[in-house]
Amino acid sequence: MSKAGSGRERPARRRWLRWTGRVLGGALVTLLVLAAAGYGAETIAQGGDATRHPAPGKLVDVGGHRLHLRCVGSGSPTVILDAGWGEASATWDDVQTALARRSLRSCSYDRAGYGWSEAGPGPRDATRAAEELHTLLERAGEKGPFVLAGHSYGGHVLRMLAHRHPERMAGMVLVDVTEASEPAIAATRDLTSVIVGQMRLYQAAARIGLARLFGDRLAVADSPALATKHAPVVYGPGSMGTAAEEAASFVTSSEQVHATERPGEWGEKPVVVIGARGSMSAGYYEGVARLSAHGRYVAAGTERHYIHLAEPELVVGAIAEVAAASRP
């Protein structure tokens, strides 16, 4: 009886396997067709982005590629704003508006490949980005020294700018910046391939139009309207691909910054380091603040990494404080 039952089960199993194969094959073909259609639609849509999503600032040639720079308000010293990893200049829009109300002029920009900036040569490490920012400021006619304000990975770039071109820095505000301690670098080294792979998947998704379709849902909570309005550019395939390239150089960038962490690195220049409440990097941030004789660490009331979105007035107030302290 057992053998007979087994004989009846085999044809049934084969039919089930054939049916499953047809279903999966049909689903795969459907997905490929949809992906191809999405790719084509995204390619066509990108051709009209210059009209639908024009750059809010200006494009400046820095030597083979152009970077996007947007300046708002009036007053001195000018504040330079650098966004975190995976984000573009639009993340600073509300902060720029608030700074203008305090009679402070601020300039945000997109690192090469992000937002409205054109892609630049690799590797995309912090030193290269800092040198491109230096060139951008020179060719845009921006006169320093500046108050440098950076969030997350943007802090790496501004710290390298201040190290290589100290005359550019009047003061600095670092907002929940990427930790560059030896343990943090070791942890990053272990995770690099995973992070790069994740961003390549996001890039592929954006390339078939998902960022354009769901861009407003990709934006970080409390993101300025400028970021969500222009999500197809801010979170498009170019930006996601650049995020992958920066991630591939995370370890190198952190090592570059770590090498600058010397006593007296920022001399008498005012510095405020802001960290999220309960941050495991609090001790590190306190040490960074001590690189200036006039540095201090502030714990935010929020646990969110995006402090400038959750508590914009805290960040704006710190920038205003540093700007006032840096004036002759």
Reported as a single tens digit per residue, the pLDDT across 282-313 is: 999 999 999 999 999 999 999 999 999 999 99
Neighbours of 150 (CB within 10 A): 24
Q: How far is CA 211 from CA 36, 197, 235, 238, 244, in A?
A: 15, 17, 6, 11, 16
Are 128 and 18 contained in the same domain? no
Predicted confidence (pLDDT) per residue in 239-289, tens digit: 999 999 999 999 999 999 999 999 999 999 999 999 999 999 999 999 999
DSSP class of residue 117? S
Helices and strands in the chain: count of H runs, count of E runs: 14, 8
* Cis peptide bond upstream of 123, omega within 30: yes
Q: Report in angstroms the alpha-carbon separations of 204 from 28, 49, 106, 229.
A: 17, 19, 34, 21
Q: What is the pTM of this model?
A: 0.85
Retrieve residue 322's tokens.
């540093």
Tokens for 58, please give them. 């200006």
Three-state secondary structure call for residue 173: strand
Which of 155 and 207 is assigned the larger pLDDT? Answer: 155
For residues 264 and 294, is the Cβ–Cβ distance under 8 A? no
Most confident of 27-31, 33-37, 67-71, 203-207: 67-71
* Residue 58: predicted pLDDT: 97
Range of the domain at 135: 57-326
What's the average model confidence in pLDDT over 50-75? 93
Is 173:285 a contact under the CB 8 Å cutoff?
no
> What DSSP character marks residue 55?
-
Q: Are residues 159 and 289 in the same domain?
A: yes
pLDDT band at 48 (very low <50, low <70, confident <90, very high): low
pLDDT at position 230 is 86
Strand order in the sheet with 106-109: 58-61, 66-72, 106-109, 79-82, 146-151, 169-175, 270-275, 294-299
Residue 229: its pLDDT value, please?
Answer: 87
Do 36 and 102 lie in one domain? The reply is: no
Residue 262 CA, chain-centre distance (Å), reads: 26
Same domain? For 71 and 21 the reply is no
- Residue 160 clears pLDDT 50, i.e. is over it: yes
201 and 261 assigned to the same domain: yes
Q: Is residue 51 part of a domain?
A: no
Q: Would you say residue 33 has pLDDT above 50?
A: no
Identify whether the C-beta of residue 200 lies closer than 8 Å to the C-beta of residue 243. Answer: no
pLDDT band, residue 207 (cuts 50/70/90): confident
Do residues 178 and 246 share a domain? Answer: yes
Residue 165 lies in a domain: yes
Question: What would the two tokens of residue 315 be?
Answer: 């960040």
Residues 92 and 37 in one domain: no
Whole-number pLDDT of residue 231: 85
pLDDT (0 to 100) of residue 267: 97
52 in any annotated domain:
no
Which residue, chain included where needed, has tokens 């400021």? 137
Q: CATH number for the domain including 196?
A: 3.40.50.1820
- 19: in domain: yes
Residue-level pLDDT at 203: 79
- Count how many domains the chain has: 2
- 42 and 129 in a single domain? The answer is no
Tell me the pLDDT band of 216, cut-offs 50, 70 and 90: low
Of 241, 239, 228, the closest CA to residue 114 belongs to 239
Compute the average pLDDT of residues 49-74.
92
Whether residue 26 is predicted with pLDDT greater than 80 in this model: the reply is: no
* Percent of the chain residues topping a pLDDT of 90: 71
CA pair distance 150, 147, nearest whole angstrom: 10
85 pLDDT band, cuts 50/70/90, is very high
- 326: nearest Cα among 61, 144, 141: 144
Shared domain check, 313 and 176: yes
Verify that 21 and 165 share a domain, yes or no. no
pLDDT at 2 over 70: no
The residue to which tokens 């203008």 are assigned: 100
What single string gives the DSSP state of each residue in 246-311? HHHTHHHHHHHHHTT--TTTTTT-EEEEEE-TT-TTHHHHHHHHTTSTEEEEEE-S---S-HHHHS
Looking at 27-31, 184-188, 258-262, which range is the least confident one? Answer: 27-31
* Residue 204 pLDDT: 79
pLDDT at 47 over 50: yes
67-78: average pLDDT: 97
In a domain, 77, yes or no: yes
If asked whether residues 159 and 283 sit together in one domain, one would say yes
Are 41 and 125 part of one and the same domain? no
Inside any domain, residue 245:
yes
Q: What is the rounded distance in angstroms from the CA atom of residue 207 to the CA atom of residue 314?
A: 37
Hey, is 238 helix, strand or coil? Answer: helix
